[in-house]
């Protein structure tokens, strides 16, 4: 299998530049003092649609257009962030988007998809419904993570990080592995000694299980994590290959650690974040990842599409 390269990510950055925002890398004095290192937050919650996902969605549709293969319709499956991103990208390029989403999807994410014109099909079988819709409409599926074009697009997050700072550690939320695989590829190209670590919920750890089994592992439907944006039903062959090559480790964190980190990271950064975005902080606090004493740590805040936590 041919891996996504840093050149692919550079090409994606040029391709998607008119369609996405270059998000800031923000210093958190409060988290830096707490952890004893320089903590920077890559604020992808400020991206269009409220998450990093438009990078991969736009790169995929634009790549297809370059090859003369842009369809009139695409289908996908998602808990919400990827769905909104594909709807956003489809609106830019005149492509109709239909999405299979969980029946229990958060209302904020459902509203976000509809805001960008996405058609929603509620289901408890995300991938199965998506594939059925692709057959019915005779159109391609733009999967959330296991496409080289998606991985390259998500890797532009890492490209921006490496342009802004020389980090010692980058912590990346993990669902299906597209984001961490892309970031790892981009960061390692410029800073091979930087550790890139993926963090996933212990209750939804498709990448960790696949790495341990050395094959794709399908999780039970509806893995019950509050970090719903990381509840991927499986990790694909492309993402696993990318993670094996460019990611130093993948660790998991408990729901209680995510729940504690969520309001604390919002308070420390003054950013509106969803639970998926705070798993890096949860991992550092839980000791799942060693803090580099006096070093520079980047926490990738993957999205902000959730109602704020309440006491």
Whether residues 28 and 167 share a domain: the answer is yes
Whether residues 82 and 231 share a domain: the answer is no
Whether residues 166 and 260 share a domain: the answer is yes
Whether residues 110 and 22 share a domain: the answer is no
Whether residues 98 and 226 share a domain: the answer is no
Whether residues 74 and 19 share a domain: the answer is no
Whether residues 199 and 257 share a domain: the answer is yes
Give residue 308's pLDDT.
Answer: 67
Residue 311 lies in a domain: no
Q: Is the dihedral of CA 200, 203, 207, 213 positive or negative?
A: positive
Give residue 127's pLDDT.
Answer: 87
Give yes or no for residue 311 having a pLDDT over 70: no
Model confidence pLDDT, tens digit, residues 43-67: 999 999 999 999 999 999 999 999 9
Among residues 111, 137, 163, the one where a domain terminates is 137
What predicted TM-score, i.e. pTM, was given to this entire model?
0.95
Residue 309 lies in a domain: no
Q: How confident is the model at residue 309 (pLDDT cuts 50, 70, 90)?
A: low
Give residue 306's pLDDT.
Answer: 82
Instruction: Report residue 141 as tokens.
Output: 């599926």
Residue 143 lies in a domain: no
Give yes or no for residue 203 having a pLDDT over 60: yes
Whether residues 45 and 60 share a domain: the answer is no
Backbone φ, ψ for residue 122 (5° rounding): -70, 140
Residue 109 lies in a domain: yes
Residue 144 lies in a domain: no
Whether residues 129 and 232 share a domain: the answer is no
d(CA 125, CA 206): 16
User: What is the share, in percent, of the chain residues with pLDDT greater than 90?
Assistant: 85
Give yes or no for residue 220 having a pLDDT over 80: no
CB atoms within 10 A of CB 295: 15
Structural domains counted in the chain: 2
Residue 306 lies in a domain: no
Model confidence pLDDT, tens digit, residues 234-283: 888 999 999 999 999 999 999 999 999 999 999 999 999 999 999 999 99
Whether residues 279 and 180 share a domain: the answer is yes
d(CA 233, CA 280): 21
Among residues 114, 137, 160, the one where a domain terminates is 137
Whether residues 60 and 171 share a domain: the answer is no
Contact between 155 and 178 under an 8 Å Cβ cutoff? The reply is no
Give yes or no for residue 221 having a pLDDT over 80: no
Instruction: Report residue 125 as tokens.
Output: 């079988």
Question: Span 196-213, mean pLDDT?
Answer: 95
Cα separations in angstroms, 184 against 119, 147, 162, 244: 33, 16, 11, 10
Spell out the long-range contacts of 16-19 with Cβ–Cβ below 8 A and sequence spacing 24 or more: 16/54, 16/55, 16/58, 16/59, 16/62, 16/153, 16/156, 19/48, 19/54, 19/58, 19/62, 19/89, 19/92
Among residues 137, 163, 195, the one where a domain terminates is 137
DSSP string, 269-295: H-----GGGGHHHHHHHHTSS---TT-
Q: Is the dihedral of CA 157, 162, 164, 169 positive or negative?
A: positive
Model confidence pLDDT, tens digit, residues 103-131: 888 888 899 999 999 999 999 888 899 99
The domain spanning residue 168 has which CATH number? 3.40.50.1100
d(CA 11, CA 292): 32
Q: Which domain holds residue 132?
A: 54-137
Whether residues 167 and 277 share a domain: the answer is yes
Model confidence pLDDT, tens digit, residues 181-197: 999 999 999 999 999 99
């Amino acid at each position: 299998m041919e891996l996504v390269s840093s050149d692919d990510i550079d090409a994606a950055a040029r391709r998607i530049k008119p369609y996405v925002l270059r998000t800031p890398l923000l210093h958190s004095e409060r988290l830096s003092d707490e952890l004893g290192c320089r903590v920077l937050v890559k604020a992808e919650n400020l991206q269009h649609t409220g998450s990093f996902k438009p990078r991969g969605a736009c790169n995929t549709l634009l790549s297809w257009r370059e090859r003369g293969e842009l369809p009139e319709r695409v289908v996908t499956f998602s808990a919400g962030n990827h769905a909104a991103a594909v709807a956003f990208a489809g609106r830019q390029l005149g492509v109709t988007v239909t999405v299979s989403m969980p029946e229990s999807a958060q209302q904020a994410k459902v509203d976000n998809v509809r805001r960008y014109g996405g058609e929603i099909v509620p289901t408890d079988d995300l991938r199965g419904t998506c594939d059925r819709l692709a057959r019915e409409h005779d159109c391609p599926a733009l999967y959330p993570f296991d496409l080289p074009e998606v991985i390259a697009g998500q890797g532009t997050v890492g490209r921006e990080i490496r342009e802004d700072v020389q980090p010692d550690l980058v912590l990346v939320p993990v669902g299906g592995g597209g984001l961490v695989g892309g970031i790892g590829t981009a960061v390692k190209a410029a800073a091979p000694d930087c550790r890139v670590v993926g963090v996933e919920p212990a209750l939804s750890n498709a990448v960790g299980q696949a790495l341990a089994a050395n094959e794709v592992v399908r999780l039970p439907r509806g893995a019950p994590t509050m970090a719903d944006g990381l509840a991927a039903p499986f990790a694909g062959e492309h993402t696993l290959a990318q993670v094996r090559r460019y990611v130093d480790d993948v660790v998991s964190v408990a729901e209680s650690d995510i729940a504690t980190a969520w309001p604390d990271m919002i308070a420390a950064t003054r950013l509106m974040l969803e639970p998926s975005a705070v798993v890096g902080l949860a991992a550092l606090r839980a000791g799942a990842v060693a803090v580099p004493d006096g070093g520079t740590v980047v926490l990738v805040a993957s999205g902000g599409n959730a109602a704020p936590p309440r006491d």
